[in-house]
Structure formats: structure tokens, C-alpha cells
Amino acid sequence: MTTATASRALADTACEAEAACCVPTHGQNALEPAEANALATRFKALADPNRLRILSIVSSSAEAETCVCDLTEPLDLGQPTVSHHLKILVDAGLLNREKRGVWAYYSLAPNALDSLAATLTQKA
């Protein structure tokens, strides 16, 4: 129960051999750098207020489908900027893009947000 505290005290006294001072019992079960990068990319897609609002609008729209021109006004952003944000969300796997005629319809990628949420809860 007090394993970490005890080993911490142990490490305190054992601080003489080299620069390492604390218990190096971690690092093997930690997130792999490559995996951490992939996860960070998906969270980075969520780390912008306008992109969160895009997801909110898309998911709350009648058919869960939205075109670019539906977003420029409520977001108060230019069309190139909206397209840029949409591309980031699509690249992150959070949105799907379907072009029908002149319009491009965006919809939530099924289970994408859920799997991201599962990554958070299982870690705790």
C-alpha cells in the first residue's frame, strides 16, 4: 500500500551513484511515444473553440449533416478558415466528408468521439 512512499524514501538515500534520484519504476508501462503522438493529433483537433463548435453544430443539425456555408455565419469566420478547420477534423477521423453536387456535406464519424472518450476513461 505504501510501496511508492517507501521506495521514494529509499531512492532518497540511494541518491549517490548517478544523477538519477527517484525511482525509475515507470516508463515501461507508459504510453509509447508513437501512440502518444497519434492521440495528441486527435486531441489537437479538439483543442480549438471553433472546431468544437463545428462538431456541436454538425451533431445537432437535423440530419447530422452540414455544409460549409452553414458554418461561416454562426462561427463568424471566413470560408477558407472554415474549410481549414473541417479538413483538420476530417484528417483526425472525427468527421466524414461527402461531396454531393456543389456542396460538401460533413457528418460525425461514427464512434470516433466515443473511442476517444474511452481512451480517457480507461486511463483513469
Binding site for DNA (CB under 7 A): 12, 15, 21-22, 44, 47-48, 50-51, 67-69, 77-88, 97, 101-104
Burial string for 65-75 (b: 16+ CB within 10 Å, else e) reads: bbebebbeeeb
Q: Give me the least distance between CB of 20 and a second copy, in Å please.
A: 6
The SS3 assignment for 9 reads helix
Burial string for 19-36 (b: 16+ CB within 10 Å, else e) reads: eeeeeeeeeeeeeeeeee
46: cell is 479538439
The secondary element (H helix, E strand) that includes residue 107 is strand 103-108
98 touches, from DNA, a second copy, none (C-beta below 5 to 8 Å by class): none
108 touches, from DNA, a second copy, none (C-beta below 5 to 8 Å by class): a second copy
Contact residues for a second copy, defined by CB under 8 A: 2-5, 7-8, 20-27, 29-31, 33, 36-37, 39-40, 43-44, 46-53, 55-57, 59-63, 65-67, 69-70, 73-74, 103, 108, 113-114, 116-118, 120-121, 123-124
